[in-house]
Structure 1
């Protein structure tokens, strides 16, 4: 048998031939099956199937038992279409929160939910009806509701699979839905609580009304878009003053009360004058009942002295206007000359309606139009006066009621038509069924011209409210609706109440006890609660939970609500077993009223609840009912916490309605933490639109790149502001992912050679390894703090920088020679592997909330298991002894010197004086004493990846290479002396000093011997 040397060559093989040998099989090169190309679109579904197979969610719940609870309560999306990029952003953020909170040591649970009631669903069914030529009103309401339920159920299933594909972990088998029977029963109980505590009432106020959808809308259901409006300036002739002002001493000096006046009740300068108003809604003029002015604005009488003969403003006419706006008004009215007369105090003046005395009105408009002070009137635009149509605006209504000026008129019906009792305009439409302008504006303008009451007209492009569902403009109209009072004292169960204990007060107090992320959210929702009107909770639709109360006529247009616990219990019990459809079945009224009340006297309310009340009640049928979601809310700041997380628009939506619902029924908010994110725009910052062609669909990104790419984009972005996405941004994200994956792959490959028995204790490690562990200690604190503060961008930035800049570009680079070439017994090599093990265990777990698929694949590549998962691990504790600020400071100095050396070598490489850095043996001059002391303690050739290095304690020659930002360091490049090692490729004069291995260094010769011994021992 031929004898062999330790490197595998024959003992008789000539040394010359040995020099040509391939030593690659003797190197400890990385070995792993972990692919460089991720193949996420194919790999991710396999991991999803694995998580389902091992019941990952169930295992997480079992492991979390007994830990403090962190519950992310899902804000319910509408089940009415495929998910879009905004959904993806929202669900990914939620999943990162849940996973990171679990890894931080909480029982972190997520139960997905869906909002299934209201117009988004009903509108889709009506569209289907219209396409088939069917009439919704001819279909029995229960049948229609069942179609809505089936439609929502189908989309719930579709969206569930799309959300799961994002890698979102939760109880997908048992989600909550507002249309489930138990949810509908609880929603009914919640509105009954408001009826019981006295906050629910029926009133008639102007509400935002969708003519297209035939229902009232809440502020959260409205969005603002540019709209072209017709503007008009209208004359209101001054006829007198309010006689009640005389007894209050409010008349101007010299002005007599009506009973003492002879011919007119005015100053001479007022005679024949008209107050001029400006409006963007001409159709509201028939509903005018007053005029508002400001006490902070100066007004005067102006006379027209020059104007075209055919002008609507005639020479000699007198108009009362705000001084600041007079010039603009006359410009709009094509008046070429005017003169200012006396200053005017409009207080107590009375005008005639523009249509007073008009033919065919039968005196309908022959009433006084009082002038009253309004604190919202300005002289920024218009005329300084605001026409008050109390049936068509909240400010108008509130001022009209506060001044006790009379009954609020009803002029426009639910279909946008003037009621039949409105002369001149009956039947004309403000808006048609498709949201287009009707003829009301033009008919009103023609009537104003006929009455000589129009001064000017124009067009204005401005922001106007639209329904976010139908996208059609809305109107404001006075209509009976159900409200929840904001400022009424809340009644206790015994009927008593505490002064000042109102829904508004409770909500404002609760806001201050919540953590808002970002903090600006607190001010935003505070302002909304401070200024919001009573909550309109009724909708004139069919699909939803009814306002499940009975009423009877109480006279004067008011109603009395039946308060009977037995009736309420029968309603809730029926809803729990049959759903809210029970309310609409034949004989439902008497069934619920029972033997003690008659359906002839008590009538059920058929209006459905605002869908925001439904979603605002979700805490009542999820958090308070499910055992796995219940938290200890006994005191603020306890270990258990509930988070709500949605887009910033939900300050006026779900956050808002949930706050009001819970404060009204439980005297506290339903959440402890509220996190808001921005919206997704394209790369140019534009809103996404199919017509523009800039929509980024999450399904397409997943298909081409994988869900982890979307997740990395989310966590690399500042979600507190609007986010941008597009092809170039995704390309950058893919490149970032590639670098992270390559780092993980190199770690896996190097750890193939790690043996626990060869582990090196911290105290025995070289300084470089201890420095890396110090950085791990710093990162551990930073990652934990950032995840706890929901600052995922900071986590991403810290880990990405550490992995690509500190590990791949520095530590791995420096230690590759020791890892690949050192003997098995080398402390440096073993210490490096020990550090890589510690780094791997932390990096993969820190990345797991952000990149759950990649982290799972990486973890299983090292720790194969049939049932285990990276997502069942806690973030590992990091020993305090790893922190070494002094050592870290020394290495900061060493790396400064290294940077100068690398700069010098790059110049040499560019000039083709060297190829690899191993060809160099630079002379490093360090005149800075602190830097010199630091670099003296390390092997600079090893740190700079050169074959040799020479350190000199001086300034160095003038021609030496320097960097301006690293004073005191100069480098003179030089070539390494000696032969090239055939194994490590280092150039050394010691190559050939071992006669058995004439082509390698002594270090490599020792490695070869140890390797041969190890292989023989293993045989």
Structure 2
């Protein structure tokens, strides 16, 4: 029946009110969830019951599954991306636990490095203090306290998301034992001879005054000043031979987006594969200012780029004089006449990185400020100064050293004040000097993607500095290189999605040596001694052991606080060695988490079964962990890696406060409840970027309401259910057996989906089952039996038996995704002060529930029902009927499979069974073509329905129409079935 009777349904005024005889759903489970208020109460309950501890006890003898938590930075409130990440991890851990594994989860935090130090520096600046004036010990203590405070904040925010774990004992990179392990791991690389001090251009933040790794850099659009600069060609080639007479007085033209690097120029790179020409200017165009080129000027440029260069310089006509081979040519520096500092020759060197796609075909080469520049320059030692092969022109603060003529002290990027991060005066000063020397040919503006520090958001520069590296291509103790071992480990790892494997392999194969030093104060130091003068690393196991022991006792502060003699012992003279005070790259810290968070714990395991983070961690944590573990253990610290995309605003743009499109986890929890956020996460293809907004979340709200209503109805229908009602599978009606078959199918889908981390597949399958199979079909059909059959009737008992099996499985299957609501449903069915749905495992499903043939027949029957429902909907819309029980459709079929399916599944007469399935009072299945136009669906051409009205009287209890109303004289207004049920009710309540 489609509705609950609201009146007695008879035509006589003195008829009995039968509502009290109906077995209507009854439950205390509220329709409204009140998630924002109720979820914290569930969290309190789980903590009081020590659910996590009890799970560990239950899993003591089970196969262990360990997801190793990638540590977030302990600075600031969590955002929607970190929230989603933790929710996905919780899906994994809970589903593995309920699949029969022991799945512990130990969360952790990354506590060192620039993000935290930067915040502490800002606090000092706000108080008018300079970080450099603060004692190191005090400053590091402030950083430690800052990180500790945010750990406490974030811990509660993560717990509010319903994430279960060892929250009372997380790991942190700043714990003394962790710092000691990080030191031990670093010294392991030292022992193998992989750590060396090199001088090469690295990305440098003038604002933060430290080197940055690629993972600490993000790219934003920046408008840069571009310049074309003329380098005067000298009269002799490098070998002493004369240049062609036509080239005397000519200039080689370069183009750059970094004018400030001109003072550091040492060479010009060209490509042997590019055609170059000598062009003589014959006419200039009109300009608002005097052009920097004049008729008669001779310029050497790549032929493919001459038109572009001429347009930039306002040159309207020029003659190509001859082809030019740049090999062996030497230029003068464009500032040579300004100061003898630039009196050296500027050679033209072949470079593989040179193209004729943009610029002039010549690449200005400043080896101290570019990776490719450095490689090209170092390949030609004949041009080097033996003392300083790579010249130093820019200091830590991004200003020219004072000894640099004309530009000493000028900043490239402003490092403080309101204009912090903007261009400093250096660019303009260099251009003014070039103009004065008549070497500037043209200038312009270009918007392009440029590296910025992800913390200060200020542009970075490439700057040559002495740094410490871990070599990737030196043989290790077993003869293999770190790069070779890492590449093999990538192939041995399971990557989800699969494309991630190619991505990280390309990164590792092509990356330079691992830059591990930072010029900061907060972090684990590079615990190295180097010989004074030679800078040779002291590699002594006894010294290493003393260092590790000291850090175990007092943390990394021991390196700064204890005298060198304590570490060096009696074997070495402290005066003969220097202590390195750089700190380790924070990625090295987090790359060691497997060594101190997993390995020492017998209740965890190494390697981890899974690492799960955002796709940006292919160049971050995934890679640093890979390199660290391969260098110390010869393999990756994980068996599988799962990556997810970024969370974007609803329109696909990046979230930002200025755009007002930020969705914060805490706001979602307060407005909707965390369960809605978890449903949203479960419904996404997380391997790609995801979108979220209030409108998108509303979809999850609607889905939650449908799921909750289904659960509520089933709980109500099971009121008073006991095991004594249970009907065995082989005695159940066909419809119930079909539901059990669907449960068998779902059992496989759920287990396979969770095992493959395909949460969307699990959620979609269970949602569709609840909404389509249960609410819209099975429960709709069985309402009549549940409400009106006598309590001991086989059909009603079988329905309640099946519904009990349904709720038993749904609460378990959905618990990893909806932990709050499934706990509420489970306890609504099995009240307990100590039990929890999260202490369960997924129930076993009997193999004999599977019945593929029956499923095919029910697919046929449901297709038949869909057409009947469509016809009845038209009748209701046209107000020809009210309830479907007023109908008696004639259903014409041309395919014999429909009758065969009904006959095989019906408990009796086919027409009566069709009426039961269609929720009508009568129905008639007729083989053959319809005699007149009736209702049909476009996609089901072989079924036609002729609507008709039911015959007989209306039963006062079930509202079904029947010609047998009053067959039982005791109940003249009831059908025989309802009369029997009421007689039973009367006897039980006499």
Shorter-chain TM-score: what band? over 0.9
Pick from 293, 300, 303: which aligns with 1:313? 293
Cα deviation, residue 420, structure 1: 2.1
Is 2:753 aligned against 1:786?
yes
Pick from 460, 476, 482: which aligns with 1:503? 482
Partner of 1:990: 964
Partner of 2:397: 415
Cα deviation, residue 481, structure 1: 0.8
Distance (Å, rounded) in 1 between the aligned partners of 2:316 and 2:708 = 76
Partner of 2:723: 756
Runs of at least 5 residues in structure 1 that lack an aligned partner in the other structure:
1-14, 244-256, 634-640
Change (3 A) 1:554 1:933: same
Is 2:550 aligned against 1:574?
yes
Is 2:535 aligned against 1:542?
no
Contact 1:762 1:770 in 2 (8 A): yes
Partner of 2:107: 112
Partner of 2:3: none
Cα deviation, residue 270, structure 1: 2.7
Is 2:313 aligned against 1:333?
yes
Pick from 363, 366, 372: which aligns with 2:349? 372
Is 2:398 aligned against 1:424?
no
Contact 1:19 1:999 in 2 (8 A): no
TM-score normalised by length of structure 1: 0.93
3-state SS of the aligned residue for 2:799?
A: helix
Partner of 2:795: 828
Is 2:836 aligned against 1:869?
yes
Q: Deviations over 1:799-844 (max 9, x none)?
A: 1111001110001001111111112232211111111111111111
Q: Deviations over 1:506-541 (max 9, x none)?
A: 111111111111111111111111111111111111
Cα deviation, residue 591, structure 1: 1.6
Is 2:322 aligned against 1:355?
no
Partner of 1:452: 438
Pick from 283, 291, 303: which aligns with 2:268? 291
Partner of 1:385: 362
Cα deviation, residue 917, structure 1: 0.1
Is 2:927 aligned against 1:953?
yes
Cα deviation, residue 697, structure 1: 1.3
Is 2:693 aligned against 1:726?
yes
Cα deviation, residue 661, structure 1: 0.9
Distance (Å, rounded) in 1 between the aligned partners of 2:788 and 2:380 = 93
Change (3 A) 1:619 1:421: same
Distance (Å, rounded) in 1 between the aligned partners of 2:14 and 2:211 = 90
Q: Deviations over 1:351-400 (max 9, x none)?
A: 221112x13x2x22122211122112111111111111100011111121
Q: Deviations over 1:419-456 (max 9, x none)?
A: 12222221111112122211111111111112211110
Contact 1:19 1:998 in 2 (8 A): no
Partner of 1:253: none
3-state SS of the aligned residue for 1:338?
A: strand
Partner of 1:563: 539
TM-score normalised by length of structure 2: 0.95
Distance (Å, rounded) in 1 between the aligned partners of 2:658 and 2:76 = 18
Partner of 1:668: 635
Partner of 1:528: 507
Contact 2:250 2:300 in 1 (8 A): yes
Partner of 1:774: 741
Contact 2:237 2:243 in 1 (8 A): no
Cα deviation, residue 727, structure 1: 1.3
Q: How does 1:82-121 map to 2 (within 5 A)?
A: 82-121=77-116
Cα deviation, residue 931, structure 1: 2.1
Change (3 A) 1:755 1:734: same
Distance (Å, rounded) in 2 between the aligned partners of 1:877 and 1:796 = 19
Contact 1:415 1:432 in 2 (8 A): no
Distance (Å, rounded) in 1 between the aligned partners of 2:230 and 2:179 = 53
Please report the RMSD computed on the Cα atoms of aligned residues, expressed in angstroms: 1.5
Q: Deviations over 1:219-262 (max 9, x none)?
A: 0000001111010001112225654xxxxxxxxxxxxx52xx5x
Cα deviation, residue 553, structure 1: 3.2
Is 2:67 aligned against 1:72?
yes
Partner of 1:5: none
Distance (Å, rounded) in 1 between the aligned partners of 2:308 and 2:685 = 45
Q: How does 1:237-256 map to 2 (within 5 A)?
A: 237-239=232-234, 243=238
Partner of 2:574: 599
Distance (Å, rounded) in 2 between the aligned partners of 1:18 and 1:877 = 54
Distance (Å, rounded) in 2 between the aligned partners of 1:63 and 1:240 = 86
Q: How does 1:171-190 map to 2 (within 5 A)?
A: 171-190=166-185
Contact 2:532 2:578 in 1 (8 A): no
Distance (Å, rounded) in 2 between the aligned partners of 1:62 and 1:480 = 52
Cα deviation, residue 907, structure 1: 1.1
Pick from 116, 125, 134: which aligns with 2:120? 125
Partner of 2:258: 281
Q: Deviations over 1:112-146 (max 9, x none)?
A: 10011111111111111111111222221101111
Cα deviation, residue 991, structure 1: 1.0
Contact 1:19 1:982 in 2 (8 A): no
Pick from 458, 463, 469: which aligns with 1:477? 463
Partner of 1:402: 379
Cα deviation, residue 980, structure 1: 1.1
Q: Deviations over 1:136-173 (max 9, x none)?
A: 22221101111111111111001101100000000000
Is 2:814 aligned against 1:847?
yes
Change (3 A) 1:924 1:300: same
Change (3 A) 1:643 1:19: farther
Distance (Å, rounded) in 1 between the aligned partners of 2:380 and 2:475 = 23
Larger mean CA deviation between 807-816 and 590-599 belongs to 590-599
Distance (Å, rounded) in 2 between the aligned partners of 1:337 and 1:613 = 58
Larger mean CA deviation between 209-218 and 430-439 belongs to 430-439
Pick from 34, 41, 44: which aligns with 2:36? 41
Cα deviation, residue 207, structure 1: 0.8
Is 2:901 aligned against 1:934?
yes
Cα deviation, residue 345, structure 1: 2.2
Distance (Å, rounded) in 2 between the aligned partners of 1:453 and 1:135 = 41
Number of residue equivalences: 962
Pick from 440, 447, 450: which aligns with 1:464? 450
Is 2:973 aligned against 1:1009?
no
Distance (Å, rounded) in 2 between the aligned partners of 1:826 and 1:208 = 79
Distance (Å, rounded) in 2 between the aligned partners of 1:313 and 1:102 = 75
Is 2:628 aligned against 1:657?
no
Contact 1:18 1:999 in 2 (8 A): no
Distance (Å, rounded) in 1 between the aligned partners of 2:258 and 2:507 = 26
Distance (Å, rounded) in 1 between the aligned partners of 2:720 and 2:882 = 30
Larger mean CA deviation between 266-275 and 776-785 belongs to 266-275
Distance (Å, rounded) in 1 between the aligned partners of 2:813 and 2:602 = 29
Partner of 1:882: 849
Is 2:571 aligned against 1:590?
no
Is 2:186 aligned against 1:191?
yes
Contact 2:235 2:248 in 1 (8 A): no
Q: Deviations over 1:834-872 (max 9, x none)?
A: 111111111111110100011111111111222221111
Pick from 183, 195, 204: which aligns with 1:200? 195
Partner of 1:968: 942
Contact 1:206 1:392 in 2 (8 A): yes
Distance (Å, rounded) in 2 between the aligned partners of 1:959 and 1:21 = 43
Q: Deviations over 1:715-760 (max 9, x none)?
A: 1111111111111111121111000001111111111142212211
Pick from 41, 53, 61: which aligns with 2:56? 61
Distance (Å, rounded) in 1 between the aligned partners of 2:13 and 2:849 = 45
3-state SS of the aligned residue for 1:233?
A: strand
Larger mean CA deviation between 977-986 and 364-373 belongs to 364-373
